[in-house]
């Protein structure tokens, strides 16, 4: 157990060094910009991650606030399910545990402009981490349609990058997981699920 904790501690130290390097680099870029518009804070540049299917993010850090702003009251977006363990593929074969959000469009127009804000809470150690991802423009749902967003590092279509050092990956305690999803022209929806205590399961 001590060896495992030491390894986890080393991984967090390495991640801390990487995060610091990313923040320093982002600050330098903002300082050198010739644009007359005000540049976002370095922390926002490093943490608000826009992903595309098949892309690899260089740094995905926790965000301190929820950046989603959506005042729509149209009830057209629905979260059908949220999975954080016991995931399976389309054929029913087990796959590695990951955050999986199934969405459907109950409205009469196509939904696009998706944003996802999700939070991992470890009530045992009293730690909370939140992440934000703006899904690519190609992620749309037609009227009456359904689509699933996966959050892992496989690079497959509709699979979006995650922080491999997050609480989800490193904590062996039970976790409370809350997901908010927003789309243009539809009221944001929120769903919660609990991840059981223990490490992540991997597919055979």
Give the DSSP letter string of the chain: -HHHHHHHHHHHHHHHHHHHHHHHHHHHHHHH---SSPPPPHHHHHHSEE--TT---S-----SS-----------EEEEEEESSS-B-TTS-B----EEEEEEE-SSS-B---EEEEEEEETTTTEEEEEEEEPPTT--B-TT-EEEEEESSS--TTEE---TTSHHHH--S-EEEEEEEEETTEEEEEEEEEEPSS------
Q: Chain centroid to CA 90: how far?
A: 21
| The pLDDT of residue 203 | 54
Q: What is the pLDDT of residue 182?
A: 98
In order of their start, the domains of the chain are 1-42 (no CATH), 48-195 (2.60.40.10)
| Predicted local distance difference test score (pLDDT) of residue 114 | 98
What phi, psi does 70 have (nearest 5°)? -150, 110
pLDDT of amino acid 90: 83
pLDDT at site 91: 82
- CA 140 distance to own-chain centroid: 18
Cβ-based burial of 66 (10 A; exposed 0-12, middle 13-18, buried ≥19) = middle
Task: Determine the pLDDT at residue 201.
Answer: 62
Counting as low any pLDDT under 50, the low residues of the chain are 1-58
pLDDT digits (tens, 9 = 90+) for 111-149: 999 999 999 999 999 999 999 999 999 999 999 999 999
How high is the pLDDT of residue 199?
66
């Amino acid at each position: 157990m001590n060896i495992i904790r030491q390894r986890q501690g080393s991984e967090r130290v390495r991640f801390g060094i990487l995060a610091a390097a990313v923040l320093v680099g982002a600050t330098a870029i903002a300082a050198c910009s010739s644009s007359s518009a005000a540049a976002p804070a370095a922390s926002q540049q490093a943490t608000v991650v826009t992903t595309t299917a098949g892309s690899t993010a260089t740094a995905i850090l926790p965000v301190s606030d929820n950046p989603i702003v959506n005042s729509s009251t149209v009830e057209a977006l629905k979260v059908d399910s949220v999975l954080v363990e016991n995931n399976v593929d389309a054929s029913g074969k087990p796959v590695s545990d990951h955050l999986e959000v199934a969405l459907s469009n109950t409205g009469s127009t196509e939904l696009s402009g998706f944003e996802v804000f999700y939070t991992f809470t470890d009530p045992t150690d009293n730690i909370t981490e939140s992440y934000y991802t703006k899904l690519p423009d190609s992620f749309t749902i037609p009227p009456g349609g359904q689509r699933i967003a996966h959050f892992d590092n496989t690079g497959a279509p509709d699979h979006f990058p995650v922080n491999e050092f997050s609480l989800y990956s490193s904590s062996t305690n039970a976790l409370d997981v809350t997901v908010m999803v927003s789309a243009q022209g539809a009221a944001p929806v929120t769903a919660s699920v609990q991840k059981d205590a223990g490490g992540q399961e991997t597919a055979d």
